[in-house]
Every structure is written in structure tokens, then in C-alpha cells.
Structure 1
């Protein structure tokens, strides 16, 4: 029998020993053991079985419509996973093989992998389907503000006069009479005024500015050329028949082929009468 004092000292000893244990290290070792076991169990799966699995999954994916989204692909893979696990369990228990090409021993290994190491197996056979991202547009306008509100007011600087014919999210083409990267203006109104002034001062035979294109974005504006277009760039252009480069939004097809393109055209432009 232990005396109360001996029991107390024993309990204190146990507490001290437990307190000195490297708990985080123990957790890390356990996790590493589990990961190593997972990789080993997948590695034990015969290569022929992995090839069969890959072929079956590819056949399922090919059965989808050409423009199937990520959710549809994931659903097909999940359905295959459930069906294959059910088939493997049946074979592992000695069930009838029917159309299955799996041996009982292979089925037993496959059950373990599909139940607990499906993610590792997916990576091993090169199966990767990205997470679908749903972008939602939010209307941040204050309550009661109509869509018909004067859009010029959202531009920094003084209001633009009617003769500027301002168009937000618009990029016009034309022959440059003033090069934007070396011609900056404080506001879109100043850029428009520069175009009006250029047209007035143009000599006979010279091209007159009738298009102004301004970058109001502090982070710069996208354009499909080799230059870095910065805030306050002011392009003065001339064209007998003004033609749009881009308007409102860049198309989805264009953005897919140009990953750095924003959703909306950042430029603001106008075509003036000369």
C-alpha cells in the first residue's frame, strides 16, 4: 500500500513527465507515419490496376459534353468512385466477378486505397480537377441611386463637357497624334480638352485630334501591346471613321487567351466633332 504522501509524489511525477513530452513532435510523427502508410498502400497497388482505373475514369470524362463544367466533371468522378468501391468490396469478399477484370487480391488492395487514400491515388495517376470558382457581381450602389445617374461623376477631376462625348469602359483605335506614355493629364476632362485644343491648332494638312483615350485607373490600364500603360495616360488620336478596339467588357474568349486581362475595359474615351 502507498501512503498518501507517496501517492501525491507519484501523481506529481506523472504530471511532470507528461508536461515534458514533445506533444507537437509526437503529433507530427503520427501524421508522417499516416502519410507514409498512405503512400505505401497506393504504391503497392499494381501498375496494371492503376492503368485500368485511369482508362475507366477517362472514358467517363469523355462521355461528357465538350464544354462540361467542373461540377459535372467532379460528379462523374464521384459516381465512378462510389461504383468502383462497391465493385471492389464485393470482389474482395469473394463475390461474382461478372465483367470485372480485377482479381480478388487486387480488389482487397483497391478497397483500402479507395476508402482512405483516394486523394493520394488521384495524385498518383495524375487526376486533377480544379475547384470551381463562382464569381458574383455585387451592386454596391447606394439604395435609391438609379442606373441612369450621370456616369461622368465617377471620374476624378472636373466634370467633362458634353462636347467630349465621354464613353466609359471604352478604347478607340486611331492614328496617334500624341503618344500616351509621354503625355499625361490630371483628369479625363483635361485629356479631352487637350484633344479639342490640338484640333483647333492643327495646321492645314495636319491630322486633327478627334479621339481622346484616357487611363483613369491608378493601377494602370490594359492594352494588347508591349507597353505598360499607367495612370493618367492621355492618347490623342485621329481617324476619319473611328473604330472601337474594346467596349464595356473584354469577351470571355479573349480573357481565356489573355490571362492578365481584366473583366472591364479600363479606358475612358470620346470622339469629338472637328
Structure 2
């Protein structure tokens, strides 16, 4: 017996329909999101300040009057340039460059030989020589040295241990760079200072007595104006100031009384009464009210009343009158 079967039912029909619905919804959501993104990009693109590709060049338009003013300003600045001064500076720079090159050409050993010879010539003058004599000795040495080098070169003789190249360089330095050579070897001679004193006081008029600020000095101070005594320093005056010369003398007396056995005892005081400070040949700046306490078995003064003319020639900054006052105490 044969059984006839009817048509088979479709498998997964409901699932296929459900899958189709999900796909359509997903596509629709994606399209919606894409549309929203496109709208946002469009709004940002149209907004000012966003997605600017490059700044736009602004073309300035000047009027004829403004252009004329700019041209006038350029002309004024060009005319104000100190052309002659600039050219002079350029020439000086070239000159200095040549002199510096010539200065470097002279070797150190040769400069030392020159300095030794010059120092020996100055020593031959003695310690009491003034600046005029020293300058004369330098000029005579230069003339003699040039004459010797030229004579030796003409006869092809040796120049006291100098090679031909060193002789050439020294000859050039003595002829054209003499001042520069003097500076290089460290020699400096001050310009002569002439002190002219004008004395228009009547002959019979008495000398005015100098007034020293402060209380009167006791008799044992033996104060002497315009006097600078030497001696071993018991108290350094740069850091020891007193209101008056009497106080300085009293400080010397007190130190001598309190000094321990074997220690230096003050018997010389030196005071600076000048408000402008006091001159001294050392490297320090001596100010008003400095009080130096010193000791010497046989006191001798360094300077008295006035500095000598020869001393002022070699020390141009020295005044005419000794500014210090001092004394040797008697206890």
C-alpha cells in the first residue's frame, strides 16, 4: 500500500524573515549615522575659523601721499648716515689690525732682550734720575740700536746674537712701532709734570696758622704738621680711624702702656686730617681720620713739609705739600 505524502513544510521560513528584518534595520541605522556625520562635517566646514586651508594675503593699498612720505623718510635716514665717520672708523680698524699683526710678529724672546737692555740703561742713570733724563736715555738707546742694526745689515755682520729675521723685525719696530714696543715690554714713564707755585702774599705778612679739628694735642704728642714718620706698624691705619689727631695720639699712648712684655710699643702716631684723604706712594687709598700707630727705635720721617720736585716728577699724583701730621710721643 502506497502512502502519498503532501508538500514538505519550508524549513526556517520564520528565521529567514527575521534575519531580513535585522539586516534592513542595521542598514538603515548606518545610513542614518552617515547622514548625521555628513551634516556635522558640513556645519563645521561652514563655521568661521575651522578648516582654514591657508591665511589669505591682505593686499595693502597705499595712497600717493603715503608713498611720498615713506620715500621722504628713507631719504632722510640715508642722509643722516655719517658717511665720513663710518669711513674713518673703517680706516682706523684696518690700521689697528695692521699694527696688531706687526706687534704679534715680534717674538717674546726678542722683547725680553730689548727689555733687559733698556732696564740696564735706566739703572745706569741712578735712582735719583727724573723722567726727563729717563726719556732721554730711552731715545739715545733707540738711536744707537737702530744705527747698530743698520750698520751690521749693510756689512752683513751678526747683530749680537740676533738672526737676520729678528734684526729686520726689531728695526721695523724701532722705526715705526716704538711706542707700541715700549707698551709691550711693560715700560711706562709718566709725562713730566711742572708745578708752578704762585706766591702773591706780601713779604711782611705772617704765616697763617693752620687749624686742626678736634681738641688741642697734649705736649707729649709732639705734633708736627705736614710730616709722615716711618716705622713698624703697631696698628694698621686703614682699619683704625680716630675722630681727631689728639685721639690718635692718645691711642698710641694707651697702646704703649698696655703692651705686653716683648711686644711692639707705639711711640709714633701718624694721622690724616684732610677730608679729601692723604696721599701715599703705596697702592692703598688713605682716607680722612686714618690713625697709624708705629714703633721705631730711631724715628725718622719719610716725608717732611713738601715733596721734592724730583719725587713729583716720578710720582705725578703726589701733591706739593705733605698732607699727613704725626709725632713722636714722650712718656
Q: Do 2:306 and 2:320's aligned partners in 1 also have CA atoms closer than 8 Å?
A: yes
Q: Against the structure 1 CA distance between its residues 104 and 68, is the aligned structure 2 distance closer, same or farther, given a 3 Å change threshold?
A: same
Aligned equivalent of 1:249: 305
Q: Which sits farther off after the overlay, 46-55 or 71-80?
A: 46-55
Aligned equivalent of 1:73: 134
Q: Do 1:222 and 1:261's aligned partners in 2 also have CA atoms closer than 8 Å?
A: no
Q: Do 2:131 and 2:190's aligned partners in 1 also have CA atoms closer than 8 Å?
A: yes
Aligned equivalent of 1:54: 115
**TM-superposed deviation, 1:100:** 2.5
Aligned equivalent of 2:205: 149
Per-residue deviation, residues 9-41 of structure 1 (Å, max 9, x unmatched) = xxxxxxxx9996721111111112112211211
**TM-superposed deviation, 1:128:** 1.3
Q: What's the secondary structure of 2:305's corresponding residue?
A: coil
Q: Confirm or deny that 1:128 pairs with 2:188.
A: yes
Per-residue deviation, residues 117-147 of structure 1 (Å, max 9, x unmatched) = 1111111111211222222211133xxx32x
Aligned equivalent of 2:321: 263
Give matches, 1:180-259, under 5 Å: 181=243, 228=288, 249=305
Q: Do 1:54 and 1:125's aligned partners in 2 also have CA atoms closer than 8 Å?
A: yes
The separation in 2 between residues aligned to 1:18 and 1:31, in whole angstroms, is: 23
Q: Do 1:91 and 1:104's aligned partners in 2 also have CA atoms closer than 8 Å?
A: no
Between structure 1 and structure 2, the one with the greater Rg is 2
The number of residues matched between the two structures is 181
Per-residue deviation, residues 38-95 of structure 1 (Å, max 9, x unmatched) = 1211211122221221121122112112221111111111111111122233344x42
State the TM-score, normalizing by the size of structure 2: 0.43
Q: Which sits farther off after the overlay, 113-122 or 99-108?
A: 99-108
Q: Identify unmatched segments of 5+ residues in structure 1.
A: 1-16, 153-166, 183-215, 230-244, 268-274
Aligned equivalent of 1:105: 165
The separation in 1 between residues aligned to 2:168 and 2:276, in whole angstroms, is: 59
RMSD (Å), alpha carbons:
4.7
The separation in 2 between residues aligned to 1:262 and 1:59, in whole angstroms, is: 31
Q: Against the structure 1 CA distance between its residues 119 and 127, is the aligned structure 2 distance closer, same or farther, given a 3 Å change threshold?
A: same
- Which of 58, 61, 64 is the matching residue for 2:125? 64
Q: What's the secondary structure of 1:63's corresponding residue?
A: helix
The separation in 2 between residues aligned to 1:18 and 1:51, in whole angstroms, is: 52
The separation in 2 between residues aligned to 1:45 and 1:139, in whole angstroms, is: 52
